[in-house]
Amino acid sequence: MDKIGVKGGMRVAVMGVKDPTLSAELAETGAEPVTALANLDLLFYAADSAEALGRVDALVPMLAEKGALWIVFTKGKTATVKGPEVIGAAKARGLIDNKVVAFSDTHSSLRFTRAKVVAAEPVAETQSEA
């Protein structure tokens, strides 16, 4: 869980990820599994189809301001979606990928966060000489 950034007290939800050990591992870290899908620090979402990737847009509002979405998908020859498709779907919703982790022997995962908005510096007004 360290490699995916789970820390005690984090609000965490799991959607569709079929890993029998995930819930136990999250509990061991002291993370707070929740069913209310709002203000999440981490959301683990299984996406093994184009249809599932199409739902990413609905997931973004569930994240806390600095929350992260982990998209978990099958890896290897049996994969129905590939990493570039996952990245494309998330980027189309304003997310940026910043970490990839082998979730298990059969699944990979990519972490996405909202792009940081950098405030523009005020433009200094200049007075023209008359």
CATH for 108: 3.40.50.150
Q: What is the pLDDT of residue 118?
A: 56
DSSP 8-state symbol, 4: G
In a domain, 75, yes or no: yes
pLDDT digits (tens, 9 = 90+) for 86-106: 999 999 999 999 999 888 888
User: Strand locations in 9-123, DSSP E?
Assistant: 11-15, 32-33, 40-46, 63-74, 95-102, 107-114
Whether 130 is in a domain gets the answer: no
Question: Is residue 128's pLDDT more than 80?
Answer: no
Task: Please write the tens of the pLDDT for every residue from 44-65.
Answer: 999 999 999 999 999 999 999 9
Beginning with the edge strand found earlier in the chain, give each strand of the sheet holding 40-46 in spatial order.
Answer: 32-33, 11-15, 40-46, 63-74, 107-114, 95-102
Q: How far apart are CA 98 and CA 78, in angstroms?
A: 25
Percent of the chain with pLDDT over 70: 88
pLDDT for res 25: 86
Domain limits at 100? 2-114
- Judged against a pLDDT cut of 70, whether residue 129 lies above it is answered with no
**119 belongs to a structural domain:** no
Is 84 within the bounds of a domain? yes
